[in-house]
Structure 1
Amino acid sequence: MFSVVSRLFSSFCFTAPPARNALFAVAALVAPLADAGVLSLTNGDRVHGELVVVERDHVVWKSETFGDITVEKSKILSLETDKDLKIAGREEPCALAGHRRQQWELYCDEGSGWVMDFPAIDHAEPYINFVGDPIIFRGNVAASGVFEDGNREREDWDVSANFDVRNGDFHHLIGTQYQNQNSADVTNLEKYRLSYDLRWIFAEKWFAAGNSAFLHEEARNIDLSSTMGLGLGYLFFDTDKSAFSIQGGVNSLREDFIDPSLNDKSGKRYAAGRTAWDFRYKFDLGPEVYYNQELLQSLDSSEDYQSNAEIGVRTPLVKGILMEVKYAWQYDNTPSLESAKEDTKMTVGVGYSW
C-alpha cells in the first residue's frame, strides 16, 4: 500500500494539473487505509479501526464506526495492525507480521522473528501508548471448618488466601494459610504459612524466579521454618483456561524447633536443590482442577529431603463464589522424634475469587 502511494507522488511533478488533482484525491483515500487496522471475527465480520489493548481474555478495538468495542479472544479470527506493539517479556517495540491459527508472528528490534500464542498474551498495546506497566491483580480466598459440640467437642479451621499481582514482566505470587485444631485430644495446634514468589519474564516463555516461605507448625514441632532461593523457570502456557510451569533452583533452608529435645539438633540449616511445578485447567462447564508440588533435596545429605503438594477442584456456585475440595500432602524424611514423616489432609470449603 505504501509503495502505491510513493509511486503516485513520484509521478506528481510530471503530471498535468487536472491529473494532479485526481491523484491528490486518490492519495487522500489510500493513505488512511495504509494506517488502518482490521479485526476479523469468526462470524465473518471485518471491523476497520485501531487496536487499543489486548488483555488476557479480550481485545479492546477502536472501530471507525462504533468507537471502542470489547471482543472476546475466542471470537477473533485475525487481527491486523501497522502499529508497533509492547509485548510482555520484551522491552523493545515489536511489529505484528501475521495472525494465523491463533498465533502471532512478531518481529522485534533484533530482527529475528518469533511466534506467540494469541490466547496466552496477557497484555499488549501500541508501543506509542506505552507509558508504564499496567498492574493486574487477581486472587482467591477459601475457608473450611469443622465445629462440633455435645458428646464431642471439636473446632478445626483452615483458611487460605492467594494473590497474583502482575506488573508488566514481573509477577508477584503471595500465599497465606492458617490452620487451627482444637479438641479434647488436641489443644490449639496452630499452623501459619506465608510464601512469596517473584517471577521476571525475560523472554517469551522463560522467567527468573525468586522464592521464599515461612512456616510455623506446632503439630510437627516446627517453631519456624524458612526457605529462600533463586532459580529459573519455563512457562509452557498461561491463559484463563489453563496454565503449566516448571522451575528449578537452589534454596537455603533453616528449621528451628519448639522442643529441641525432640530433635538431634536445636536447629538445622542446609542448602537444598528445589524443583516445583504448577498446573491448572478450567473445564468449559466451569470446574477448575489444579495441582502443584515442591520438592527440596539437601545437597549435603541424601536422606534429608521434604516435599509438599496440593491437588484440588474449584467449582463455581454463583459469580465469584466457589466450592473447593482440596487434598494436601506433606512429607519430611527426617522429622522430629515422635512425629510422622507423612501428613495428609482433605478439606471441603467455600471461597471467593476475582
Structure 2
Amino acid sequence: MFSKTLIGLALSLAASTVIADTVWLKNGDRLSGKIKFYEGKKLVLSTEYGGAIALDWDQIATLESDQELLIKENALSGERAKSLQAAGPGQVTLVNGDAPKTVALTSIKQILKPKPLVEDLVLSGNLDAALDYKRAERDTDNYDIDLEAEARHGRWRHNGEAGYNREFQDAVVTTDNWNAEYALDRFFTEQWFWQGRFEYKRDKIEDLRRQRTLGTGPGYQFWDNELGGFSVTGLLNRSDYQYANGERDSFYALSAKWDYNRYLVGKSVELFSTGEVGKPLANVAEYAFDAEVGLRYKVTDWASLNMKAEKELVSGSEGDMDETHYSLGFGVGW
C-alpha cells in the first residue's frame, strides 16, 4: 500500500513537471496545458489532447502557471511575473519575489510571454498573393502581391505596407506599379494616438509616375479587440508628384485615413477595408482617393483565401489617374 502511494505521488510529480499550467473554470472543470497568451477576452491554452483551445475569459475562476509571463492591466504597461498562483474566485496571484500580488481577473487586459528585447512586442500581419491568367482573344497575365504588418509594444504601434502589381496584355505591359508605406503611432490614451507616416508610390505606365507623401496628425482607435478593429486618422501632408512629361507638383494637403477589420463566423472570415481621401490646400480642383475592401477566409490557422477590390483616383494639374483592380488569391498570416 505504501509503495503504491509512492508510485502515485511520483507519477503526480512527473505529470506536474510536464503540464505546467492549470485553468479552473467557473463550472468546476479544470484544464491543464500551457498558457500561450490572453487577449481580447480569449485565453489560448495549448494542450496535448485538444491542441490550442480558446477559453472565454469571463468563464475562468482562477489559474496557475510556473512560466514567466507578462501581465498587462492596461494596454500601455505591464508587470513581469515569475509565476502565477491560483487565488479566490475571479482572482489570481502574481508571484514576483517576496511580494506576491493578488489581482482581479477583470483587471487583466493581456497575458503574453515576454520577448528577449522588447518584452511586450506583439507581431501580426498578412502576405497575400494573386495570380490571374486569361487565354482568349486577348491574353492577360496579372500578378499582385500585398504585404501588411503591424508591431505593437507599450504606447507604440508600427504599421508597414508594401504592394506590387504587374499586368500583361498580349505580352505588352499595361500595369506596372509598386508602393510602400510606414506609419508610427504613439498612444497617449487607449484610444487617442499621434501618427507620423511616409508613403512612396511608383508607376511606370500611368501619367502620374511618382508620389511621395510625408504626413503627421492625430488618430482615434474606436475599438481593437477579438472581433476586429477600427481607427481613423487625420493628417497634414506634404506631397510631391512627378508626371511622365517631367512636370512636378509639390503641395500641402489634408487627408483622412481609415483602417477597419471585422471577424465573422467564429473568426474564420475577415472583412477588411483601408483607405485615404485627401485634398490639397491650394487647389480646389485636385483630390486623391485610394481605398481597398475585401474578404479573407481562413483555411488553416495560418493560410487564407482572399478577394479584394482596390480603387485609386488622382486628379492633378498635369494628369489624372483612375485605376480599379480586382484580385483573388492565397495568403499567409501571423
When normalised by structure 1's length, the TM-score is 0.66
Contact 2:129/2:146 (8 A) holds in 1: yes
Contact 2:112/2:120 (8 A) holds in 1: no
Contact 2:257/2:275 (8 A) holds in 1: yes
1:346 aligns with 326
Contact 1:89/1:201 (8 A) holds in 2: no
1:323 and 2:270 equivalent?
Answer: no
2:259 aligns with 278
Shift of 1:168: 2.5
1:268 aligns with 249
Worse-matched range after superposition: 70-79 or 156-165: 70-79
Query: Comparing both structures, which one devotes a greater share of its residues to strand?
Result: 2
Distance across 1 between alignment mates of 2:202 and 2:238: 17
AA in 2 matched with 1:135: L
When Rg is computed on C-alpha atoms for both structures, the one with the higher figure is 1
Instruction: Encode CA deviations 1:30-81: one digit per residue, 9 max, x unaligned.
Output: xxxxxxxx9773535589xxx99744564489xxxxxxxx974524336789
Instruction: Encode CA deviations 1:272-298: one digit per residue, 9 max, x unaligned.
Output: 112111111111241110112211111
List runs of 5+ in structure 2 lacking aligned partners: 1-21, 46-51, 64-69, 80-88, 91-105
| Corresponding residue to 1:222 among 208, 221, 226 | 208
2:82 aligns with none
Contact 2:42/2:57 (8 A) holds in 1: no
| Corresponding residue to 1:41 among 25, 37, 40 | 25
Contact 1:177/1:193 (8 A) holds in 2: yes
1:21 aligns with none
AA in 2 matched with 1:74: D
List runs of 5+ in structure 1 lacking aligned partners: 1-37, 62-69, 94-98, 101-115, 261-265
1:259 aligns with 245
Structure 1's 318 and 124: CA in aligned 2 closer, same or farther, altered over 3 A?
A: closer
1:6 aligns with none
1:213 and 2:194 equivalent?
Answer: no
- Aligned residue pairs total 279
Distance across 2 between alignment mates of 1:225 and 1:268: 10
Contact 1:88/1:169 (8 A) holds in 2: no
2:294 aligns with 312
Distance across 2 between alignment mates of 1:302 and 1:73: 54
Percent sequence identity over matched residues?
19
Distance across 2 between alignment mates of 1:315 and 1:85: 32
Once superposed, what is the RMSD of the aligned Cα atoms?
Answer: 3.9
Contact 2:174/2:205 (8 A) holds in 1: no
Contact 1:220/1:336 (8 A) holds in 2: no
When normalised by structure 2's length, the TM-score is 0.70
Structure 1's 148 and 187: CA in aligned 2 closer, same or farther, altered over 3 A?
A: same
1:175 and 2:161 equivalent?
Answer: yes
AA in 1 matched with 2:284: S
Instruction: Encode CA deviations 1:310-352: one digit per residue, 9 max, x unaligned.
Output: 1100012233221111011112232644x45x32121111111
SS at match of 1:76: helix
Structure 1's 221 and 305: CA in aligned 2 closer, same or farther, altered over 3 A?
A: same
Query: Comparing both structures, which one devotes a greater share of its residues to helix?
Result: 1
